[in-house]
Amino acid sequence: MGKLFGTDGIRGLANVYPMDSETMMMLGRAAACVFRRSGGRHRILIGKDTRLSGYMLETALASGIVSMGVDVLLVGPMPTPGIAFMTRSMRADAGVVISASHNNYVDNGIKFFGPDGFKLADETESEMERLLGPGHMNELRACPDLIGKAYRIDDAIGRYTVFLKSCIERNTKLDGLKLVIDAANGAAYRVAPLVFSELGAEVIMVGDDPNGTNINEGCGSTHPERMCELVREHNAFCGIAYDGDADRVIFCDENGQVVDGDAMLAALAVDFQERGILGGSSVVATVMSNIGLDIALKERGIGLVRAAVGDRYVLAQMLAMGAKLGGEQSGHMIALDYNTTGDGILTSLLLLAALIRKNYPVSYCRTIFQSFPQLLVNVPVPTKPPIEQLKSVIQCVSECEQELGERGRVLVRYSGTESKLRVMVESETDDTCRQMVDRIVSAVCKDLGVESL
C-alpha cells in the first residue's frame, strides 16, 4: 500500500482505490483505533458535500468505525469548516469530511479533524496508514455487545448557522443588501442562503440545486462568470461564490469585477488592525500572493509572511508566529479567533461587516493595493534536480532580484504534480516580466539540457 495522505487528506477518483468502499471501511476502522480514548463511549462525526459518491463512502466509513466500538454522528451535507466547528462543539473524538473541494464530481476525498477542530498532524495520519497494513486491526474489533451505532444529527445546520452569526457584532445587519450567492451546487447550498437571509439580506441564489453530479460545474468560486452577470443584472451589492466544500470564497464587487483572495486578505488585515484584533503585526499569505499585497500592507505597518501553497502550510506558519489572519489568493482565508480552518461563509460575514462599518462598497477591496503584472511560464523538464544545484538558474534569479529590488519578485519552483518547473516574475511592467522570465527560462534549459521553449 502506497502513501495515502497528501497535503490535504486523501484524494482520488470515486470508486477507484483509494476512494473505494473497501479502503474506506478499513480507513474507518483505523480512524476509530487512533481516536479511541480510555473509558466511556467514543464518537466520530462525518459530514460530506453533495457528490453522488458521498453516500457510498459515508456508509463504508461508518461501517468501519462502528465495527471498532465507536459511535458515528452523521451530519449530511455540511461545509468543511462546519464539520470542524461541530467536532469541537459536540466534543467528538474526531471529525471527517468527505469532499474533493473544488474538483469535478468524479473525484472525492477525505479530510480528518482532531477533537480540537484542527487538521491532523502528519504523525497521526501516518499511524492510520500503519494500521491499514495486514493484520494490525484483526484483534482490535469490538465484541458483539460493544459495537458502535450511527445516528443522524438533524439540527447541525441550525447549530452552524447560529455560530456563524455570532462571529459578527450583534448590531450588524444586512438589511437592504441585495446579494448574489453561488453555492457551487455544493455543501453550502442550504447553509449560505439561511445565514444571509436571517441577517436581513435579499438573497439571489445560484448553484443551489445539487443533483450529485453538478458540483462545481460551471459555477462556484472557480467559475464566477454567472455570478458576476447576475450582480450586474440585478444591481446587487455584491456576489459571493463558494467552492464545493465552502472552505474558500471569491467575491465580485458591485460592478461585477472579481475580488480575489489577495484583495480580501488586504481588506480584512486593515480592518483587524484598526480593531486591534490582528494578533501581532503580520498576516500570512503564500508564495503565490501578489507582491503588491506586501507593499500595500507594509505601508500600513502590517508585515506579510509567506508560506508554501496550501492551507495546511498557511495554518502552520500562523500557529508558529501567533498570527490570527492568513489566506491564499484562491480565497481560502483562516481567521483563528473564529474557526480553526478556512471558512468561506465566515470570511464573507467578516468582510461584509467590515465594509458596513465604513459604509464602503465591495470595490473598496480592489483599491487597497495595486496588483503588479505577473507572468508565469511552465517549463517541461525531464528530471527534477534540486534547484540550488542549477547554477545558471540561481545566478540568473539573483541578478533579476537585484534589478527588481523591493518592486518585484521572482519565484522558481517545481510543480508538485507535473514534470514541470514553474518560473514566475512580478514587476511594475509587463515588459520587465517577459524579459526576466525569458532569461530565467533560458538558464533552465541550459542547466537541464532541454530545448528552448
Active site residue 371: no
* Beta-strand relationship, 258-259 and 249-252: antiparallel
Number of H helices, E strands in the chain: 13, 18
Angle (deg, nearest 10), helices 80-89 and 344-358: 100
Q: How far apart are CA 158 and CA 375, in angstroms?
A: 45
Q: How far apart are CA 375 and CA 154, in angstroms?
A: 49
Half-sphere exposure of 24 (CA within 13 A, CB side): 29
Contact criterion met (CB below 8 Å) for 157 and 190: yes
* DSSP 8-class letter at 375: E
Beta carbons within 8 Å of 72's beta carbon, 6+ residues apart: 43, 44, 45, 46, 61, 62, 65, 66, 148, 149, 150, 151
* Beta-strand relationship, 94-98 and 107-113: antiparallel
* Beta-strand relationship, 333-335 and 94-98: unpaired
Q: How far apart are CA 432 and CA 439, in angstroms?
A: 11
Q: Which residue in the list 53, 67, 99, 101 is annotated as catalytic?
A: 101
Element (H, E) at 252: strand 249-252
Q: How far apart are CA 278 and CA 137, in angstroms?
A: 46
Element (H, E) at 116: none
Cell (9 digits) for 259: 475580488
Name the 3-class secondary structure at 104.
coil
Half-sphere exposure of 327 (CA within 13 A, CB side): 27
Cell (9 digits) for 4: 495515502
Q: Give 3-state DSSP helix, strand, coil % of the chain, rounded to 5.
A: 40, 20, 40
Cell (9 digits) for 203: 438573497
Residues labelled as active-site residues: 101
